[in-house]
Amino acid sequence: MQVFQYPDQTQWAALQQRAAAQEAQEIEQRVLGIFQDVRQRGDAALRDYAQQFDGVQLQDLRVTPEEITAAVAQVPAELQTAIRQAHANIWKFHASQRTEEKPVETMPGVTCWRRSVPVQRVGLYIPGGTAPLFSTLLMLGVPARLAGCPEVVLTTPPQKDGSVNSVILFTAQLLGISTIIKAGGAQAIAALTGGTDSVPAVDKIFGPGNRYVTAAKQLATRYGVAIDMPAGPSEVLVIADSSANPAFVAADLLSQAEHGPDSQVILVSDSMTVIEQTQAEIERQLATLPRAAVATQALTESRAILLRTPEDMLYFSNQYAPEHLILAVQHPEQLAEGVTSAGSVFLGHYTPEAAGDYASGTNHTLPTNGYARNYSGVSLDSFLKKITYQRITAEGLLNVGPVVETMAEAEGLSAHARAVTLRLEAVASQQQ
Ligand SMILES: NC(=O)c1ccc[n+]([C@@H]2O[C@H](COP(=O)([O-])OP(=O)(O)OC[C@H]3O[C@@H](n4cnc5c(N)ncnc54)[C@H](O)[C@@H]3O)[C@@H](O)[C@H]2O)c1
Ligand SMILES: N[C@H](CO)Cc1c[nH]c[nH+]1
Ligand SMILES: [Zn+2]
C-alpha cells in the first residue's frame, strides 16, 4: 500500500483513479464477443464457457430439485441458524422501505396517484468465481420477495464437480427460488438478456460480480434489459483519525482486499502514526489470511493518504465516491452528515463493514468504480416500478383543460390541444 503525504489538489485526481481503469476497453471487447456468441449459440455456448472458465463439462444447465434437497442436508445447523438470523434482519430493514402514497387532487376533479408494481421477471447473479457469495443471494432474494416479483431466475458459476455450492442452494430454498442456472460470468448475463433453451430471459438483472460480469450488465442495457447498477470489484475507503484502532482499520481494509485482486482499499487519515501502525497491522494480519495472495495483489493498487483536516478527508472521499465508507473517527455523526457520495456508510469504531456484508440488515450490493456519485445500492425500490395513474372528471377537465390547450398550442402540437377541446365541447353541450 503506497503512502502519499499531503498530496496537493492536482495529485488528487490521480489518487482517485481506480486500479483497473486501463483494462476496461479490453474487457468490454471480450465481453462483447461472449455476448454475441451466447445470443447465437445459446445453451451450447454456455456449456463451452463453463468448460473454459469454470473447468467443468455440464450436461444440464438447470439445478434439479434432487440436487437442492441433497445440498440442503449438507449445510451445518450453526450456519443455517446464522443465515436465518441474517435473513430476518435484512427482511426487517427492507420491509421498512415500503411506502404508502395517497391519491392527490391537484385541482378539483383532477386526481393523480402512484402504484408500486414488481418487476415481473428478474435475474439474480450470484458471484462464485473464487468465493460462493450466498450472502449476496440474501441481499437480492429478500427484496425480490418483498416486492413480489413473480419470476425469479438465479444464475451462479458451477463448481469444478458441476454442482452449485450447497449453501447457495440452501439459501435459495429459504427464499423459495427454484429456477437456478449453472452459468457464471458474462455468458450468464448474456443468457439472462436474450434467453436460451435453459435460461428464461428477464426484464432486469441484479447482482455484483467481477469486471466481466459488470461490463456484461452494462452491455445488457443496450438490448433493452435494465440493471440494478454497476456493482463491480469491492472497495472500501476508511477515514481514520487519531482515535482509530489500527488493528480494526487494518482488518477492515483487508476484508475488502481479500475479495479479489482488483479490489481497491484506501486509508485516509490526518495522523501519520495511525497510517504507520495500520500498515504494520496489515502486514501482521496478512500473514494469517488464507486469501493473503489475493489481498496482497489488491494492496499493490491501494493507497494510504495523509491529509490535513477532517474537511479535506471528507472532500477526498466524496470525490472518490467509495462503495463503502468507514468513519473510524471520534465523532462520526458529524462527518456522516457531510457525506454526499458513498454506497454505504459505517459509523464509529465498532461498526465493521463486514457486518453490512452479512447480517446487520442493509444491502451489500452497492455501486463501485465511482458510480456512487450517481447510483444507490440495491433496495426494495430496485425491484419495483412506480406506475402513475390519473382520473379526470368533467369538472376537472373544465379546470385543467384550458391550461393544456394553451400550452399545447404554444408547442405547436394542435392534436394535443384538440384532444382536450373536443371533450370540453362535449362537456359544454351536456351542460346546456
Ligand atoms: N459491488 C458489490 O456490491 C459486490 C458485492 C459482492 C462481491 N463483489 C465483487 O464480485 C466479484 C466476484 O468475482 P469472482 O471472480 O469471484 O466471481 P464472479 O462470479 O463475478 O465471476 C466468475 C466468472 O467470471 C468469468 N471469468 C473469469 N475470468 C474470465 C476471463 N479471463 N474472461 C472472461 N470471463 C472470465 C468466468 O465465467 C467465471 O465463471 C469480486 O470482484 C467482488 O469484489 C462486489
Ligand atoms: N463486500 C462485498 C461487497 O462489496 C459483499 C460481500 C459478500 N460477502 C462478503 N462480502
Ligand atoms: Zn465483503
- In DSSP notation, 61-88 reads -BPPHHHHHHHHHTS-HHHHHHHHHHHH
Q: What average pLDDT does this structure show over 271-279?
A: 98
Distance CA 263, CA 297 (A): 9
**Which triple of cell numbers denotes residue 68?**
437442492
Instruction: Please give the full DSSP string across 210-240, using - where no structure is assigned.
Output: -HHHHHHHHHHGGGT-EES----S-EEEEEE
18-22, 136-140, 217-221, 364-368, range with the lowest pLDDT: 18-22
Q: What percent of the chain has pLDDT over 90?
A: 93
Torsion of CA 58, 63, 67, 72, to 10 degrees: 130
pLDDT in tens, 326-342: 999 999 999 999 999 99
* Mean pLDDT, residues 4-32 taken together: 85
Residue 346 CB: number of other CB atoms within 10 A?
A: 24
| pLDDT of 396 higher than 80 | yes
> What average pLDDT does the structure give for the chain?
96
Least distant ligand from the CA of 215: 1
Which ligand 2 atom sits closest to the C-alpha of 231? 4
The pLDDT value recorded for residue 22 is 57
CB 324 near ligand 1, within 6 Å: no
Question: In this structure, is the dihedral angle defined by the CA atoms of residues 382, 262, 43 and 39, taken in order, positive or negative?
Answer: positive
Cell of 193: 438478456
CATH of domain 24-97+117-232: 3.40.50.1980
107's grid cell: 385541482
Residue 94 annotated in ligand binding: no
Per-residue pLDDT for 317 more than 90?
yes
Q: Which amino acid is at 278?
A: T
pLDDT of amino acid 246: 98
Determine contact, residues 152/120, Cβ cutoff 8 Å: no
Nearest to 338 by CA among 352, 325, 349: 325
Q: Is 279 near ligand 2, meaning CB less than 6 Å away? A: no
Instruction: Say if ligand 2 is within 6 A of residue 364 CB.
Output: yes
Rounded Cα–Cα distance for residues 44 and 404 (Å): 55
Q: What's the mean pLDDT in 369-392? A: 97
89 annotated ligand-binding residue: no
Q: What per-residue confidence (pLDDT) applies to 21?
A: 61
Q: Is 234 annotated as a binding residue?
A: yes
Cell of 23: 483494462
- Amino acid letter, residue 60: D
Asked if the 2-20+233-360 domain carries CATH number 3.50.50.60, the reply is no
Q: Provide the percentage of residues in the chain whose pLDDT is more than 70.
A: 99
Q: Where are the beta strands (DSSP E) in 232-379?
A: 235-240, 264-269, 303-306, 324-328, 344-347
Separation of alpha carbons 341 and 357, rounded Å: 19
16 band by pLDDT with thresholds 50, 70 and 90: confident
Q: What is the pLDDT of residues 202-215, one digit of tens each?
A: 999 999 999 999 99
Q: Is 292 within 8 Å of 278 (Cβ atoms)?
A: no
Interval 159-194: pLDDT, tens: 999 999 999 999 999 999 999 999 999 999 999 999
Question: pLDDT band at residue 127, thresholds of 50, 70 and 90?
Answer: very high
Query: What's the CA gap between 129 and 353, in Å, rounded?
Result: 22
| Whether the CB of 135 sits within 6 Å of ligand 2 | yes
Domains 2-20+233-360 and 24-97+117-232 share a fold: yes
Does ipTM surpass 0.90 in this model?
Answer: yes
d(Cα 45, Cα 111) in Å, to the nearest integer?
52
Residues with catalytic roles: 323-324
Q: What is the pLDDT of residue 304?
A: 97
Q: How far is CA 198 from its chain centroid? A: 25
Average of per-residue pLDDT across 357-372:
97
Q: Judge whether 179 and 68 are in contact, CB under 8 Å.
A: no
Which residues have C-beta under 5 Å from ligand 3, the single-atom ion? 357
Residue 81 CB neighbour total at 10 angstroms: 10
* Ligand 2 atom 1, closest CA: 357
The residue ranking higher by pLDDT, 432 or 313, is: 313
pLDDT tens, residue by residue, 47-104: 999 999 999 999 999 999 999 999 999 999 999 999 999 999 999 999 999 999 999 9
pLDDT of the residue at 56: 96
Residue ranges of the domains in the chain? 2-20+233-360, 24-97+117-232, 393-431
pLDDT of residue 359: 98
CA distance 348 to 7: 26
Contact 214, 260 (CB under 8 A): no
Residue with cell 489488491: 298
Question: For the segment 340-354, what is each residue's pLDDT rounded down to a tens digit?
Answer: 999 999 999 999 999
Using the mean position of ligand 2's atoms as its centre, give its distance from the Cα of residue 134 in Å: 10
**HEC assignment per residue over 382-408:** HHEEEEEEEEECHHHHHHHHHHHHHHH
Show the DSSP H helices in 17-161 as ranges. Answer: 24-41, 43-54, 65-73, 77-95, 134-147
